[in-house]
Amino acid sequence: EPEVTQTPSHQVTQMGQEVILRCVPISNHLYFYWYRQILGQKVEFLVSFYNNEISEKSEIFDDQFSVERPDGSNFTLKIRSTKLEDSAMYFCASSAGRVGEKLFFGSGTQLSVL
Amino acid sequence: AQSVAQPEDQVNVAEGNPLTVKCTYSVSGNPYLFWYVQYPNRGLQFLLKYITGDNLVKGSYGFEAEFNKSQTSFHLKKPSALVSDSALYFCAVRVVSGGYQKVTFGTGTKLQVIP
């Protein structure tokens, strides 16, 4: 089965630093998402992306966050100035269609902000 | 607000016994409902979905879920639990906003199957 790939698997950074989390969605998918999960608990929606623009974002996704699809295969999440509370597992997901399609998730990037 | 609720943080069941993981939803319009499973240190994996049709939906690994409109529930079930079913289970609902969808997840239920 095709996979969503995320790198790195672990990222440690100092508070205030910028981080970029990388994802390679499944090649023929059109819809891309970032979710995060704190301490194995609730999975929280961050943002959805379609046709090279953000289609939906949550209240978590403030001005410190941005997403980009720079080259037609990668999908990145940037946090400009990390805070301690940004420490979480970040999951990328993609889907082929919009209505009722299942999401394919990557294995996640564990971000630790010190 | 459109959402799903998983009332149990943890469910314990003996191997070989039937299992149920509960989920209730609150959405406007017809719900699109999903179950995902998360094994330790892994991403979420799709189990099954309900969009329309038969209220009993069959999915991966022998799991099924029953859509009950009157009770606004979508409980996950399996007739005979395996130790390998031990994982974190998330119910999810498609929420439509501004013409686009997002999938909102419940808080998760940890399933522990006891040998």
- pLDDT, mean over chain A: 91
- Whether residue B100 and residue A48 make contact (CB cut-off 8 A), yes or no, is yes
Residue A18 contacts residue A81 (beta carbons within 8 Å): yes
Residue whose C-alpha is closest to residue A68's, from A47, A95, A43, A88 = A47
Cis peptide before B40 (omega within 30 of 0): no
Is residue A8 pLDDT above 80, yes or no? yes
- Whether residue B41 and residue A99 make contact (CB cut-off 8 A), yes or no, is no
Per-residue model confidence as pLDDT tens digits over B58-83: 999 999 999 999 999 999 999 999 99
Q: Following CA atoms B67, B69, B75, B79 in sequence, which dihedral angle do they give, to the nearest 10 degrees?
A: -50
Six-digit token pair at A43?
Answer: 């999975």
pLDDT at B3: 85
pLDDT at B40: 84
- pLDDT, mean over chain B: 91
- Taking CA–CA distances from B104, the nearest residue in chain A reads A45
- Whether residue B104 and residue A91 make contact (CB cut-off 8 A), yes or no, is no
- Whether residue A43 and residue B90 make contact (CB cut-off 8 A), yes or no, is yes
Task: Supply the DSSP string of A7-62, one letter for each residue.
Answer: E-SEEEE-TT--EEEEEE--TT--EEEEEEESTT--EEEEEEEETTEEEEE-TT--
Q: Out of B34, B102, B104, name the one closest to residue A102 (CB).
A: B34
Cα–Cα dist B87/B111, whole Å: 5
Mutate to test the interface with B, among A102, A107, A109, A110 (most CBs of B within 10 A): A102
Residue whose C-alpha is closest to residue A106's, from A10, A9, A5 = A5
- Whether residue B32 and residue A99 make contact (CB cut-off 8 A), yes or no, is yes
Banded pLDDT at A99 (limits 50, 70, 90): low
> Among residues of chain A, what percentage have pLDDT more than 70?
97
Residues of A whose CB is below 8 A from B90:
43
Q: How far apart are the CA of A58 and the nearest CA of chain B, in angstroms? A: 10
Q: Out of A40, A50, A100, name the one closest to residue B51 (CB).
A: A100
* B13-31: average pLDDT: 93
Six-digit token pair at B67?
Answer: 């859509």
Is residue B100 pLDDT above 70, yes or no? no
φ, ψ of residue A81 in degrees (nearest 5): -140, 95
B115 touches chain A (CB under 8 A): no
pLDDT at A62: 93
Banded pLDDT at B110 (limits 50, 70, 90): very high
B69 touches chain A (CB under 8 A): no
Q: How far apart are the CA of A16 and the nearest CA of chain B, in angstroms? A: 27
* A54-72: average pLDDT: 92
Cα–Cα dist B39/B86, whole Å: 8
Cα–Cα dist B33/B93, whole Å: 5
**Which residue has better confidence, A28 or A112?**
A112
Bridge-based pairing state of the strands A19-24 and A75-79: antiparallel
SS3 (DSSP) at B18:
coil
